[in-house]
Amino acid sequence: MNYSPQNILTARARLGEVPFWHPDEQLLYWGDIYNHRVHQFNPATGEDRFFDVGEVVCCVAPAGNNRLIIGQRHRIAFLDTSNGQVTAIMDIEDNPDIRFNDGKCDRAGRFWFGSMSSKGEPQGKLYRYDGSLHILETGLTVSNGLGWSPDNKTFYLTDSPLKTIYAYDFDAESGSISDRRTLINLQAESFFPDGLTVDKDGCIWSAMWDGWCIIQFDPKGKEMMRVKMPVQRPTSCTFGDRDLTTLYITTASVGLSEGEIQKSFYSGDLFSLQTNTSGLPALHFG
């Protein structure tokens, strides 16, 4: 199959990220972290609307009718998509050098999210929120791209500056992880793994920051395919549409020089890719 990404929205986001497909609404949600926006995109009409949440928005997941759970700089909150109201759940961090990053819900409705250090220090953590807060991992640089295998036995976590995607044993009943090992090592590359998604066959699709591509890996971590992107900084991806065969890809323009922008003119836009596989549905909090 000839994989050719299509530019579907001239968004010019600073840091487009954390996309998920809402199967009930048939809408794509995604965040622009530094512009403090949660976007709601309708591929059928091309309409994109956004909610200004007043602070960086680092992760987003569905949480019931007209409600999302979001991670902001130091807190988690609910966003009411009927009126744009943000209601804080819990303040967690108070270190100005730390902010939250990528997050998703597991099949039991628990919200997983990580944190990162702006100074590149190993101060990041991985959290799970299920009505109470649990710390599952420490010593991360940038907790990023996470997901679960289709059989729900393996959890994936990316540490972007280390150019590593880890695999853990996952206990679905308790929500615990164990036996961390390196699944994908990209230290020989010049780019960094960012957000990821997992397809029905257990393959990992990872967006490569500064890599001009999305890479598909098999469940054992072997590279299968590189999909070339017309932008330097793909950030994350998720499967969507009714059959979950369309890969939606967010991108970033932040930090690019004027010359780099000229080479990567559509940076910050939203892209789609028709694939010959399908993804797993986004999971709701609660």
Q: What is the pLDDT of residues 117-157, one digit of tens each?
A: 988 899 999 999 999 999 999 999 999 999 999 999 999 99
Residue 124 structural domain: 10-198
What lies within 8 Å, CB to CB, of 130 at 6+ separation is: 108, 109, 110, 111, 175
| Order of strands across the sheet that contains 223-228 | 192-198, 204-209, 213-217, 223-228
- Residue 223 lies inside a defined structural domain of this protein: no
Does a structural domain hold residue 45?
yes
Task: Report yes or no on 240 lying in a domain.
Answer: no
Q: What is the pLDDT of residue 85?
A: 97
| Within a domain: 92 | yes
> Does residue 225 form part of some domain?
no
Q: Do 217 and 225 touch, CB atoms closer than 8 A?
A: no
**Whether the Cβ atoms of residue 241 and residue 248 lie closer than 8 Å to each other:** no
Does a structural domain hold residue 254?
no
241 in a structural domain? no
The predicted-structure confidence for 15-46, as pLDDT tens digits, reads as follows: 999 999 999 999 999 999 999 999 999 999 99
Q: Write out the catalytic residue numbers.
A: 194
Q: What is the CATH number of the domain that holds 180?
A: 2.120.10.30
Q: Give the model's pLDDT for residue 264.
A: 94
pTM beyond 0.95: yes
Instruction: Tell me what pLDDT residue 241 has.
Output: 97
pLDDT of residue 2: 75
Q: How many domains does the chain have?
A: 1
User: 111 forms bridges with which residues in the sheet?
Assistant: 105, 129
Going residue by residue through the chain, which has 286 residues, state the pLDDT in tens, using 9 for 90 and above.
778 999 999 999 999 999 999 999 999 999 999 999 999 999 999 999 999 999 999 999 999 999 999 999 999 999 999 999 999 999 998 899 999 999 999 999 999 999 999 888 999 999 999 999 999 999 999 999 999 999 999 999 999 999 999 999 999 999 999 999 999 999 999 999 999 999 999 999 999 999 999 999 999 999 999 999 999 999 999 999 999 999 999 999 999 999 999 999 999 999 999 999 999 999 999 9
Residue 163 lies in a domain: yes
Give the pLDDT of residue 235.
Answer: 98
